[in-house]
Amino acid sequence: MEWWSAALAFIGAGVGSLVSYLVARRDIAQREAEARADVGQRVEQGHLEEWGRRFTIALDGVSSESPRRRSLSRVLLVELGQSALATDQEKALVLSVLDAGARMDGDGDDVTRFRAGMLVDEVVYVEDTGEDDDEGGVP
Amino acid sequence: MKDKLVVKVTRDQIQSARALIEFAGGEDKVDPVIVRIARAQRPPRQARTAS
């Protein structure tokens, strides 16, 4: 009967080791999954922060004194606004900024608003090239 | 005779209007006045004679 108890002890030890191994393996897999999720979250957070930094630069650039910087900032603003990282609120902000930029002249006046009671049949928009001509601008 | 009002717009306004159209997804998605600003024409240059 002695060999039975030895065999049972051996089997018991084997089963115990197997259970310990499986538990440890599950624990490690769980930790790895958590670590991967954490890294993914950090990467996403990093992308969001970088997007926000660029978005701020683009917004700042559209009111720059430099025409080149203004142009590049507009391109950047459109690209960032079309990104999947942009929220609806930020997209609405891009629309508002571009809309205001299209309507406001160099003095900050809205060229699409005319004096009340002004009667004209046709409004023609022409590019201001800085050259004087006979036709006037916005009254 | 038709009364025509000529409104001068800057290069920045034209570029903003074009960017807005692109961002909005087409000319039909924005105010028609934005489309007209985006299509603003350069005034015809006066003929210059070389001396």
Q: What is the ipTM of this complex?
A: 0.83
CA gap A123, A116 in Å, rounded: 15
Q: Strand, coil or helix: what is A38?
A: helix
What's the domain range around B29?
Answer: 9-42
- The mean of the pLDDT values for chain A is 88
Instruction: Report pLDDT for A53.
Output: 94
User: Counting one residue from A and one from B, how many pairs have CB atoms under 8 Å apart?
Assistant: 128
User: Cβ contacts (< 8 Å) between B23 and chain A: which residues?
Assistant: 78, 81-82, 94-95, 98
Q: Which two tokens stand for residue A1?
A: 């009967």
Q: Give the chain B residue nearest A135 (alpha carbons).
A: B6
In a domain, B37, yes or no: yes
Give the HSE-up count for residue A132: Cα atoms under 13 Å, Cβ half-sphere.
Answer: 0
Q: Is residue B3 part of a domain?
A: no
Distance, in Å, from the CA atom of B12 to the CA atom of B10, rounded to the nearest integer, reads: 5
Chain A CB contacts of B19 below 8 Å? 74-75, 77-78, 98, 101
Which amino acid would we find at residue B2? K
pLDDT one-digit tens code per residue, A54-101: 999 999 999 899 999 999 999 999 999 999 999 999 999 999 999 999
- Closest C-alpha to A111, from B41, B10, B11, B21: B10
Cβ atoms < 10 Å from Cβ of A74: 25
- How sure is the predictor about A139, in pLDDT bands with cuts at 50, 70 and 90? very low
* In-domain check, residue B1: no
Report if residue B50 sits inside a domain.
no
B15 assigned to some structural domain: yes
Overall number of domains in chain B: 1
The helix (H) or strand (E) run that includes residue A30 is helix A2-61
Residues of B in contact with A138 (CB under 8 A): 7-8
